[in-house]
Amino acid sequence: MDEAELVQRAQDGDEQSFAQLIESYRTRLLAFLTGRIPRTLKRKITAEDVFQEVSVTAHARLASFEYRGDGAFRAWLWQIAQLKLREAVRRFAGTAKRGGAAEISRGGRRDTGLFEAPQGTPSEYAMAGELEERVHQALGRLSDDYRAVLTLVRIEQQSLREAAVAMDKSYEATKKLYGRAVAALAHEITRGADA
């Protein structure tokens, strides 16, 4: 099956075709991302994390992608990758958070035995991981519109007005859609926890 057919099937809702498309670029995209993560942030940002964000964004925006021949999907995917990498770099280097440059390798730091332990316990971290997995699974069970608006607003941190433009909807319609999507996500998360 050629790429044009895979794209068409994925746009028609075939999740396996979408997964096949993304996986066909995985190795090259990871190499691309790895080579562009600033050395000082390699402890904070992994190519795999950015790749996951690229996959979620590509899935959410797939309906608006227009296949224009060989290389079109790859170029579109690489644009998303560059955007997601810039966002990750900004998140860790351009905010008040401690940048990766402050990291000191073992042996190069002072004795930390006298410092207070982190506030989170192993069980709290485990529970947070389980919740993250439930959220990811719940997102997958939502309709395309719900998943798209949640991705734009919560993952890409766009405003509702920006999301409305991206989804080609009115601001009011997007606001209502977002409210319904949040409620549906909460229901799916709860349903997943009860299963």
**Which residues belong to CATH 1.10.1740.10 in the chain?**
1-95
Query: Rounded to whole angstroms, how far apart are CA atoms 109 and 101?
Result: 14
Query: Rounded to whole angstroms, how far apart are CA atoms 99 and 149?
Result: 30
Bigger pLDDT: 138 vs 126: 138
Question: Radius of gyration over alpha carbons of the chain, in Å?
Answer: 19
Q: What is the pLDDT of residue 27?
A: 96
Q: How far is CA 97 from the centre of its chain?
A: 20
Query: Rounded to whole angstroms, how far apart are CA atoms 61 and 142?
Result: 15
Bigger pLDDT: 158 vs 24: 24
Q: What is the pLDDT of residue 111?
A: 58
Exposure b/e, 9-20, CB count within 10 A at least 16 = b: bbbeeeeebbee
**Which residues belong to CATH 1.10.10.10 in the chain?**
122-195
Exposure b/e, 127-165, CB count within 10 A at least 16 = b: eeeeeeebbeebbeebeebbbbbbbbbbebebebeebbe
Decide: 167 and 149 in contact? Cβ < 8 Å.
Answer: yes
pTM of the model: 0.49
Rounded percentage of the chain residues whose pLDDT exceeds 70: 77
Query: Rounded to whole angstroms, how far apart are CA atoms 111 and 170?
Result: 57
The yes/no answer on whether domain 122-195 falls in CATH 1.10.10.10 is yes
pLDDT digits (tens, 9 = 90+) for 63-119: 999 989 889 999 999 999 999 999 999 988 765 445 455 555 555 656 555 555 456
Stated length of the chain: 195
Q: Which fold has domain 1-95?
A: Rna Polymerase Sigma Factor; Chain: A (1.10.1740)
Which two three-digit tokens encode residue 78? 């690489």
pLDDT digits (tens, 9 = 90+) for 32-45: 999 999 988 888 89
Q: What is the pLDDT of residue 79?
A: 96
Q: What is the pLDDT of residue 96?
A: 42
Query: Rounded to whole angstroms, how far apart are CA atoms 26 and 33?
Result: 10
